[in-house]
A and B are shown apart, each in its own frame.
Chain A
Amino acid sequence: KAGVTQTPRYLIKTRGQQVTLSCSPISGHRSVSWYQQTPGQGLQFLFEYFSETQRNKGNFPGRFSGRQFSNSRSEMNVSTLELGDSALYLCASSLVGDNSPLHFGNGTRLTVT
């Protein structure tokens, strides 16, 4: 069974631009969540989607948004990029059921210059 796939793997953008990241969950997984990871800050929760509905959101500004499609694939968008948005963005999928383990992709490394 294929794992969680995130594209692109690396991305370089300049301040003020916007970016869209994509995540394809494991087949059969309907819950998708997104995280920002920076050195010293650990994993910061962005949002979680289930059946195309956002069911939880972390403490990030409105520049960060996401959505989920009917096939459970998800995208996240960051508008008006800032230097501080440089990070590894991770997507995780899980089965229905709140204690189901998260399965992570290898992330998208975003660099904002």
Chain B
Amino acid sequence: LAKTTQPISMDSYEGQEVNITCSHNNIATNDYITWYQQFPSQGPRFIIQGYKTKVTNEVASLFIPADRKSSTLSLPRVSLSDTAVYYCLVARNAGNNRKLIWGLGTSLAVNP
């Protein structure tokens, strides 16, 4: 099953674009990639999900290259409130036996 690896921490400034990359070298054909955001003392919150190429919603974009061995979460024009931990998740669905592999999270600090 795919192991997910992401940077432990990142620093940025308000107004910048932030890109967080997750490596999942052993990703399988049916695996989906999802990103979550977590603030202190709260549960993770869904940001975006994708299978291949590019997905965009109102808060982020997700870029997945053709080989799908990595994915990049892109946060446009971050603000102080985007300071949080971001988790990459690879999910394999095999009937009733769903496997979830979480990264250890990237702690993003947005500075004024």
Does A106 lie within 8 Å of B42, measured CB to CB?
A: yes
Does B97 lie within 8 Å of A90, measured CB to CB?
A: no
Q: Which of chain B's residues has its CB closest to A33's CB?
A: B100
Interfacial residues of chain B within 70-112, with CB under 8 A of chain A in the complex? 87, 91, 93, 96-100, 102-105
Given contacts A42-B103, A98-B91, contact A55 B44 (CB under 8 A): no
Complex interface: chain B residues within 8 A of A42 (CB): 87, 102-105
Complex interface: chain B residues within 8 A of A48 (CB): 98
Given contacts A4-B43, A42-B103, A43-B44, contact A101 B98 (CB under 8 A): no
State the Cβ distance, B68 to closest chain A Cβ, in Å: 15
Interfacial residues of chain A within 40-67, with CB under 8 A of chain B in the complex? 40-43, 45, 48, 50, 55-56
Tell me whether A107 is interfacial, beta carbon within 8 Å. yes
Interfacial residues of chain B within 11-62, with CB under 8 A of chain A in the complex? 32, 34, 36, 41-46, 49
Complex interface: chain A residues within 8 A of B99 (CB): 56
Tell me whether A103 is interfacial, beta carbon within 8 Å. yes
State the Cβ distance, B59 to closest chain A Cβ, in Å: 13
- Distance between Cα atoms of A74 and B62 in the complex (Å): 33
Contact with B along A78-94 (1 / 0, CB 8 A): 00000000000011100
Mark A residues whose CB is within 8 Å of B: 4, 33, 40-43, 45, 48, 50, 55-56, 90-92, 98-99, 101-107, 109
Mark B residues whose CB is within 8 Å of A: 32, 34, 36, 41-46, 49, 87, 91, 93, 96-100, 102-105
Q: For the A-B complex with A50-B96, A90-B43, A106-B43 known, give 13 more contacts whose Cβ atoms are closer than 8 Å.
A: A42-B87, A42-B103, A42-B104, A56-B99, A91-B43, A99-B49, A99-B93, A101-B49, A102-B36, A103-B46, A104-B36, A104-B45, A107-B43
